[in-house]
Amino acid sequence: MAGRLVLALAAIAGLVALFLTLIALTDGAGSGIPAWLTTLGIATAAAWWWGRRRTWPARLVPFLPVVVASALTASVCVPTEPTARHSPPDLPFVATQHWKLATGSQVAVYHYPPANTGTRHPVPLVYLHGGPVRSISVQDHRFLRLLARQGYNVYAYEHAGGGRSDLLPMGQYTISRSVRDLDAFVDRLDRGKVDVLGFSAGGGVLTRALADPRVAARLHRAIIAEPGPMDGPTAHITGHKGRESARDLAPAMKGPRSTYTPRYAVAFGLMRLGLLSPDAGLIGQAEGVNAFTAADLGSDTASAYCARDAHRIPTEDTEENFSFNAGASLHIQETIKDSPSIAPGLRRSRIPAMLMIAECSSQVRQWATAILANDPAIQRTQYMPGVGHHMWNGLDDNNNRAAAIVSAFLQDKPAPLPDYPTRGEIPTFLRDHK
């Protein structure tokens, strides 16, 4: 009996493996149904051949693993989330505007006008969030409101395909499109030159904008905070990161996970492994956005905080506001990896810039130091102790410290922190694993 049970489990595992292999080979075509039918056909033929010499009741036994495997794999082909896009509801504290850009992108825009204080800064400040294709978190909105209270006229928009912005065809999500959208947004704003704060993936977009003379001409000052890779050569660097983060130390994030559902566990898992393309036919883009939850990014969220903060990581977002477009994000990352070096263009940049680096950064250090080495217009680097990748996180006085650094640069005042590392200190900075 035990031997037969082992054989049955092995047969089920083999059929599931065959199904997953066919999913990868067909790129999930037809919601996985062709792969399922092929697996079912092969399994049925094998079960019939195995039981062909048995008496009639015994002939049904080989079909039991087929039935079980068919039920397991069929769950991968059946959507459990809406296949039409469900955008998050509007936030209660800021109006959501929808702008149609010249590129064709329809983006959600948020405006925080300067508070009624004595100091108002004439140059608008545009925020480019990370992700790269997700909603702007409530935590980030709090930081933008803090800047507005200090007299800045703050604008932010969610990149196409993220948050409340409209989806694009998957093939149109490219890093070049992100830069063109920034250019089109500034043009649509029609307020002259702007200051731009780019965080994480937004920092990568801003860096590429600085390397493009046509887009850079629209910028007044640039703040690159915890940037992602700027081009293909940088993206392929395998360097070290900052001090220890809370990635493997923080308690598991509570809440539903799409990865508890076979369909989305298979889809997102194979995408992450590179065995399924972002525009695969297994799940549609809208369905994938609807399925993905904040808990699915739990380890990534924890990696944005220092190890010492592992047990006090704040809630960054609400369940209603959270939105992440995994397929589009992967597609943009692939276009970055495939892009040529932008270093020659960046070396010609003349836009005053500042680089912000976190002590416990989860980003590869060379992503930031490559920008510092190649952009002669970077006037200061601010190494922020005691914070992880998400530098304005609501803990202690981190928001105020980050705001003070941003404000000092935009107003051309002395920096709150030493200028570190400088270009000459890059080798030592990397050698010491700072």
Asked if residue 18 and residue 141 are part of one domain, the reply reads no
The 10s digit of each residue's pLDDT in 28-42 is 999 999 999 999 999
Number of domains observed in the structure of the chain: 2
Domain at 373, CATH number: 3.40.50.1820
Model pLDDT, residue 166: 97
- 271 belongs to a structural domain: no
Asked if residue 148 and residue 11 are part of one domain, the reply reads no
Asked if residue 324 and residue 228 are part of one domain, the reply reads yes
The 10s digit of each residue's pLDDT in 165-214 is 999 999 999 999 999 999 999 999 999 999 999 999 999 999 999 999 99
Model pLDDT, residue 55: 67
Q: Which residue did the predictor score with more confidence, 220 or 11?
A: 220
Show which of 21, 48, 77 is a domain's final residue.
77
Which residues lie closer than 8 Å to 402 by C-beta, 6 or more apart?
Answer: 143, 356, 384, 387, 391, 392
Asked if residue 396 and residue 336 are part of one domain, the reply reads yes
Neighbours of 261 (CB within 10 A): 18
The 10s digit of each residue's pLDDT in 280-317 is 899 999 999 999 999 998 788 999 999 999 999 999 99
Asked if residue 29 and residue 138 are part of one domain, the reply reads no
- 284 belongs to a structural domain: no
Outline where 123-261 has alpha helix (H).
138-149, 175-189, 201-210, 213-216, 232-235
Model pLDDT, residue 63: 80
- 265 belongs to a structural domain: no
Model pLDDT, residue 384: 97
Task: Look at residue 5 and tell me whether its pLDDT is greater than 90.
Answer: no
Model pLDDT, residue 58: 65
- What's the mean pLDDT in 88-100? 96
- What's the mean pLDDT in 16-45? 93
pLDDT-derived band at 132, boundaries 50, 70, 90:
very high
Model pLDDT, residue 49: 82
- 218 belongs to a structural domain: yes
Asked if residue 73 and residue 101 are part of one domain, the reply reads no
Range of the structural domain that residue 26 is part of: 2-77
φ, ψ for residue 65 (rounded to 5)? -60, -30
- 30 belongs to a structural domain: yes
The 10s digit of each residue's pLDDT in 140-176 is 999 999 999 999 999 999 999 999 999 999 999 999 9
Asked if residue 222 and residue 331 are part of one domain, the reply reads yes
Asked if residue 146 and residue 246 are part of one domain, the reply reads yes
Asked if residue 149 and residue 185 are part of one domain, the reply reads yes
Show which of 46, 77, 108 is a domain's final residue.
77
Model pLDDT, residue 239: 84
- What's the mean pLDDT in 72-81? 93
Two tokens, residue 84: 């039409």
Q: What is d(CA 137, CA 390) in angstroms, rounded to the nearest whole number?
A: 11
The 10s digit of each residue's pLDDT in 218-235 is 999 999 999 999 999 999
- 272 belongs to a structural domain: no
Two tokens, residue 433: 């694993």
Asked if residue 142 and residue 176 are part of one domain, the reply reads yes
Asked if residue 113 and residue 23 are part of one domain, the reply reads no
pTM: 0.93
Round the average pLDDT of the chain to a whole number and report it: 93
φ, ψ for residue 43 (rounded to 5)? -65, -40
- 279 belongs to a structural domain: no
Which residues lie closer than 8 Å to 5 by C-beta, 6 or more apart?
Answer: none
Outline where 238-364 has alpha helix (H).
262-272, 285-291, 298-302, 326-337, 343-346
Model pLDDT, residue 324: 95
Which residues lie closer than 8 Å to 230 by C-beta, 6 or more apart?
Answer: 204, 207, 208, 211, 336, 342, 346, 367, 370, 371
- 288 belongs to a structural domain: no
Model pLDDT, residue 339: 97
Model pLDDT, residue 8: 79
Show which of 49, 77, 105 is a domain's final residue.
77
Asked if residue 243 and residue 138 are part of one domain, the reply reads yes
